[in-house]
Chain A
Amino acid sequence: QITLKESGPTLVKPTQTLTLTCTFSGFSLSTSGVGVGWIRQPPGKALEWLALIYWDDDKRYSPSLMSRLTVTKDTSKNQVVLTMTDMDPVDTATYYCAHRTYYGSGSYSLFDYWGQGTLVTVSS
């Protein structure tokens, strides 16, 4: 059974750095093809894809946020960490981590398991 859970601060001040940890179970991030992604959702708004880290440590970032994002993994701890610098009130959102898998001959990539999400508020 795959589970993921996000943890980190619920409140950060503008200009601070946000560090979120995704702790997962039921899979290994050293297994070929596996990845963990980060997605956020401002209150009442749409989902926004942020980053993805693969089993081989390949990392992909949203170009609009790339300068502020870092994603790392600790395979031994079954954790993935997302760091976002220079936080602003517009970054207030629920942040999700999700398990990435792929299906079919076309290698369709999808997020099939999600954490419950953690609401991060940016305010002074």
Chain B
Amino acid sequence: DIQMTQSPSSLSASVGDRVTITCRASRSISTYLNWYQQKPGKAPNVVIYGAASLQSGVPSRFSGSGSERDFTLTISSLQPEDFATYYCQQSYFFPFTFGPGTKVDI
């Protein structure tokens, strides 16, 4: 299985801050990397697919970059509704493994 790691595991930020989360795959996955946002008690929602493509309906303050093994999710100006846990997921090899998550809170 491909192992996914994320850093940091949690971070504290304020509204308006620029936030960057990193994800690393244990082997190259090209750009087959998705980012999901999950709020407490809710199902995840995809925000980025293909490492850098913004899912329809997701605000443009979210962006993704990276390829091969190293990826980043950036929120350019954190909004109150962005406080959540973010998971990366690779979709290059089965099983489609998720990272351990990064909790973004105040």
Contacts and interface: CB of A to CB of B under 8 A. Distances in A.
Q: A and B bound?
A: yes
Contacts of B95: 49, 60-63
A111 interface: yes
Contacts of B91: 108-110
Contacts of A26: none
B14 interface: no
A114 B44 CA distance: 7
Given A106-B31, A109-B32, A112-B55, A46 B101 contact: yes
A110 B49 CA distance: 7
Contact of A63 (B1, B32, B43): B1
B9 to A, nearest CB: 10
A49 B98 contact: yes
Contact of B46 (A61, A111, A116): A111
B62 to A, nearest CB: 14
Given A103-B50, A114-B43, 18 more contacts: A46-B87, A46-B100, A47-B89, A49-B96, A60-B94, A61-B95, A96-B43, A96-B44, A103-B49, A104-B53, A106-B30, A106-B31, A108-B31, A108-B34, A112-B46, A112-B55, A114-B44, A116-B43
27 contacts: A39-B98, A46-B98, A46-B101, A47-B36, A47-B87, A47-B98, A48-B98, A49-B89, A49-B96, A49-B97, A52-B94, A52-B96, A60-B94, A61-B95, A63-B1, A63-B95, A96-B43, A98-B43, A103-B49, A103-B50, A106-B31, A108-B31, A108-B53, A109-B91, A109-B96, A111-B44, A117-B43
